[in-house]
Structure 1
Amino acid sequence: MTTELNVFSTIAVQPAVESLAPSFETAHDCRLVVTWNTAPALVKRLQAGEMADLLILNRAGMDTMISDGRVAPGTDVTLASSATAIAIRAGAPRPDISTPDALVRTLRAARAISYTDPAAGGASGIYFAKLLDRLGIAAEINAKTKFPPPAGLSGQFLVSGEAELAVQQKPELLQVPGIEILGPLPGELHMVTTFVAGVETASAKAAMARALIDFLCTPPAAEVFRAKGLDPA
């Protein structure tokens, strides 16, 4: 019988992991059963009693799980990192976001924008909401903001024409056909999220989970992470 390896993973690495999974499954005669969501949502589910063999979370989420005793000591490994970026519909005029002041002007000029709902727990949404507060434009921008559903993609609103700018992790933006990355948040506003894998302490398949982490750290895997918009560790 094919072994199933249960993985709880943040959606930021979904394109890379889904591309790499078939090779690992074939080599190890197993099947990856992956639950995709934002890292905070996954942490809540784990704290409510759910289990997985392998966790792929942001650094903050992994630190919480380590503190809770849910990650086997010494198994947490940094896989990759990603910048929060801004996208536009493919072929649309490219507004200036080269400086913080230029970004503020561009956000104010946009008819509508989309970023992930901070209540859903995504790192980019939480950071961007705080950034709007810090820039003093939160009420103005949020009045014309469209939030995707939890674990959704803000870039979809660019394709539908419901928004002119979308903000999210770069690999999540790259999942949406028909849009273009304008660039990362400028200057001191730049934000990078680190993604970490770790083996669940109570997993009965710890050896296979460790093998998956090793596989995700190989040079060929690093190239896939890079192609999907992440910076491998």
Structure 2
Amino acid sequence: MAQSAEIKLLAAAALKDAYLELLPQFERAPGHTVAAVWTSTPAVQKRIMAGEAADLVILGNSGTDELIKQRKLVPDSRANFAKMGIGVAIQVGTPEPDISSADAVKKSVLTAKSVAYSAGSSGIYIVSMFQKLGIADQVKLKTAVVKPGEPVGEVVARGDAGIGFQQISELISLKGIKYLGPCRRVSKTSPYIPAEFLLRRRRRTRPRR
């Protein structure tokens, strides 16, 4: 009979809802349990670089190349398994901006009182989007503060930002905001590709008796 074990997971929070739905099915099959730590992609990177051990890592592909270069992750274990777009949201009850085209998004961002986006993979994409739209400098002057690990939707919901951008999965389930749709009209490519990795140094676990 196979021995069960606890699997330690470090993961970007964008996949948390899907994970929580699938976890019970996984744990029933082999009898393993999963101890998950959910945070931003930059935070996952820092923890791994600092030497924290885990069995599995899930994060945006923007944060993986350097970790592989530093031999913190097993290169051959790399597997892109999901794609997730970036969405737009506003506070419930506020006028709905136009995001039907690149020019419309540009105008809506410039007229918003403030703009919120994360410091993780979605934020990296959004900054590049603002650069392509030619409004990066203007947006810097009115960027709302988003604390590490804080959902952008919460910043928007309490009125600290007029418009917010983050992974769709982190916006659609939050109360107090209205999800307007994806940013695909600005960029047709999927901006966020979470990837699955195994750490180079596996954390040893004791089998259950």
Corresponding residue pairs, total: 202
Deviations 1:106-159 (A, max 9, x none): 11222222111x4xxx01212222333443323433333212211211111222
Question: Against the structure 1 CA distance between its residues 127 and 204, is the aligned structure 2 distance closer, same or farther, given a 3 Å change threshold?
Answer: closer
Counterpart residue identity of residue 175, structure 2:
P
**Correspondence for 2:12 among 10, 13, 16:** 10
Q: Which residue of 2 aligns with 1:198?
A: 197
Question: Against the structure 1 CA distance between its residues 186 and 101, is the aligned structure 2 distance closer, same or farther, given a 3 Å change threshold?
Answer: farther
The question of 1:180 aligning with 2:182 is answered: no
Contact persistence 2:62–2:121 (CA under 8 A): no
> Quick one: percent identity of the two aligned structures?
31
Gaps of 5+ in 1: 207-233
Counterpart residue identity of residue 102, structure 1:
A
Contact persistence 2:27–2:33 (CA under 8 A): yes
Contact persistence 2:53–2:203 (CA under 8 A): no
Counterpart residue identity of residue 197, structure 2:
G
Deviations 1:2-42 (A, max 9, x none): 63211111111111112222222233323211122222321
Q: Which residue of 2 aligns with 1:128?
A: 126
**Correspondence for 2:163 among 165, 168, 175:** 165
Moved over 6 A (4+): none
C-alpha distance in 2, partners of 1:115/1:63?
23
TM-score (norm 2): 0.83
The Cα RMSD (Å) is: 2.5
Question: Against the structure 1 CA distance between its residues 136 and 85, is the aligned structure 2 distance closer, same or farther, given a 3 Å change threshold?
Answer: same
CA drift of 1:69 comes to 3.1
CA drift of 1:165 comes to 1.1
Which has the larger strand fraction?
1
TM-score (norm 1): 0.75
Gaps of 5+ in 2: none
Counterpart residue identity of residue 194, structure 1:
I
CA drift of 1:54 comes to 0.5
Counterpart residue identity of residue 99, structure 1:
S
C-alpha distance in 2, partners of 1:72/1:163?
39
C-alpha distance in 2, partners of 1:19/1:130?
32
Which has the larger helix fraction?
1
